[in-house]
Amino acid sequence: MDSIIVKGGQELHGSIPIAGAKNACLTLMPATLLTDEPLTLTNAPRLSDIATMSTLLESLGVEVSGLQDGQVQVLSSRQITNHTADYDIVRKMRASILVLGPMLARDGHAVVSLPGGCAIGARPVDLHLKGLEALGAELDLRDGYVHAKAAKGLKGGTFEFPVVSVGATENILMAATLAKGTTVLKNAAREPEIVDLADCLTRMGAQIDGAGTSTITIQGVDSLHGATHPVIIDRIELGTYMLAPAFTGGSVELLGGRLDLVEAFAAKLDEAGISVEAGENSITVSRKNGRVNAVDVVTAPHPGFPTDLQAQFMALMCTANGVSVLEERIFENRFMHAPELMRMGANIDVQGGTATVTGVDKLKGAPVMATDLRASVSLILAGLAAEGETVVNRVYHLDRGYERVEEKLSACGAQIERVKGNV
Ligand code: UD1
């Protein structure tokens, strides 16, 4: 397995291009199952999670061609030749459950393994299933698989999510585009990736109102057609690299960055004393003075502070001036980076879903272990500012969600390299 070695202490100066959003692409790709015409996605990120979704779709009979080094994905689902999403693929990535709604909507039946994914809590799929039931699906859970049927097709209905779920909103939204009649989704997720999915579905001929608000109304249509859609930029990659100069000092321009996608997060950077300036088609972040201020954070569904930036922000708070309290409200067990940061000298006390971080002067490089996607990048950021060398092991988590992280950071002056492992 590869490792990443970071030598801390370099100020960062330069620019970093932001890729297309992994999480958007992972829901746009299954949308191809809704139509027999090709769906072309441009600005796709080149990540192992995208390759996993391609493999899953191919197993269902979708032809996938990655053009221009993977940045363009052409997906063609003339016919779904296999309606079973197998455990061997699904267990690698939780987003695999997103093939369920589209397959069921198009052909009236689907079998999907219950998913695995990052080890950040129980992460059930009950809301995906309840939402589909509200559209008339008959579901049966057997041998670790969901067997779903809608012999006469799905029917529009009203469903109120008891908790906000991004994935469940996406799944039901896709399914509802081909259901008979009107579907109303209440307490729907408002993430930018939902808006991007609705835009793509609209390009494919769907009738959707209210995406980006908590009530989405979908008027079912008989069929969808092909389309070309640019994947929205990755606001989590954007936020992650916005933090880099906050750790090291210096100034970095994030190309393609949009402040409207990261408002709650940018407000916290401002509180911490970091300068964030929006340009025409970029954001520039700089840290001029010494230590950052300690800031409290509570994660929440969009437009709140994203859980996917909590680990990285916690790493920043490890050397802040004062005490910060971080509350994780989306996922249980999402503080696995805390013990690794403590190996680097951080002072963190975790009690349930709350972490109290008392800032120290400096972190010290150490061998650490990436435990999930966002945790792994938080350790790299910490390493950029730490004294000495940090070796981040198990970086396959990183490759799921960050494209060419070493290249992007070293272009700004970071001392970072990947060491190929044997396995
Ligand atoms: C998506 C993102 C992930 C992000 C998360 C929250 C993708 C591929 N992943 O994950 O990066 O961290 O949103 O912003 O887009 N829940 C249930 N039952 C369900 C579904 C969810 O109880 O059926 C709970 C979860 O356990 C969690 C909360 O709802 O506590 C939110 O999860 P959800 O928004 O569904 O996350 P994902 O879509 O899996």
pLDDT in tens, the chain (423 residues): 889 999 999 999 999 999 999 999 999 999 999 999 999 999 999 999 999 999 999 999 999 998 888 899 999 999 999 999 999 999 889 999 999 999 999 999 999 998 754 454 556 899 999 999 999 999 999 988 999 999 999 999 999 999 999 999 999 999 999 999 999 999 999 999 999 999 999 999 999 999 999 999 999 999 999 999 999 999 999 999 999 999 999 999 999 999 999 999 999 999 999 999 999 999 999 997 789 999 999 999 999 999 999 999 999 999 999 999 999 999 988 999 999 999 999 999 999 999 999 999 999 999 999 888 999 999 999 999 999 999 999 888 899 999 999 999 999 999 999 998 865
Residue identifier of the C-alpha nearest atom 11 of ligand 1: 308
Contact 283, 263 (CB under 8 A): no
Contact 187, 216 (CB under 8 A): no
Q: Encoding tokens for residue 170?
A: 């996406």
Which atom of ligand 1 is found nearest the CA of 167?
38
Give CA–CA dist 140/156, Å, rounded.
20
How far, in Å, from the CA of 129 to the mean position of ligand 1?
14
Residue identifier of the C-alpha nearest atom 38 of ligand 1: 167
Residue identifier of the C-alpha nearest atom 39 of ligand 1: 167
Which atom of ligand 1 is found nearest the CA of 331?
30
Of the candidates 35, 193, 166, the residue with the CA atom closest to the CA atom of residue 105: 35
Residue identifier of the C-alpha nearest atom 2 of ligand 1: 23
Give CA–CA dist 128/169, Å, rounded.
8
Contact 18, 257 (CB under 8 A): yes
Active site residues: 118
How far, in Å, from the CA of 366 to the mean position of ligand 1?
32
Measured CA angle at 53 (ends 26, 421), to 5 deg: 110
Residue identifier of the C-alpha nearest atom 7 of ligand 1: 23
- Sign, CA dihedral 413-416-417-418, equals negative
Q: Encoding tokens for residue 423?
A: 């396995």
Ligand 1 pocket test: which of 25, 56, 166, 298 has the largest number of ligand atoms within 8 Å of its C-beta? Answer: 166
Contact 397, 373 (CB under 8 A): yes
How far, in Å, from the CA of 95 to the mean position of ligand 1?
9
pTM, two decimals, is 0.96
* Residues near ligand 1 (Cβ within 6 A): 23, 26, 94-95, 121, 123-128, 163, 165-168, 307-308, 330-331
Residue 417 bridge partners (DSSP): 5
Give CA–CA dist 34/256, Å, rounded.
30
How far, in Å, from the CA of 165 to the mean position of ligand 1?
5
DSSP readout, 171-221? HHHHHHTTSBSEEEEES----HHHHHHHHHHHHTT-EEE-BTBSEEEEE--
- Sign, CA dihedral 400-406-412-413, equals positive
Contact 349, 95 (CB under 8 A): no
How far, in Å, from the CA of 82 to the mean position of ligand 1?
27
Count how many residues are written for the chain: 423
Residue identifier of the C-alpha nearest atom 13 of ligand 1: 166
How far, in Å, from the CA of 415 to the mean position of ligand 1?
34
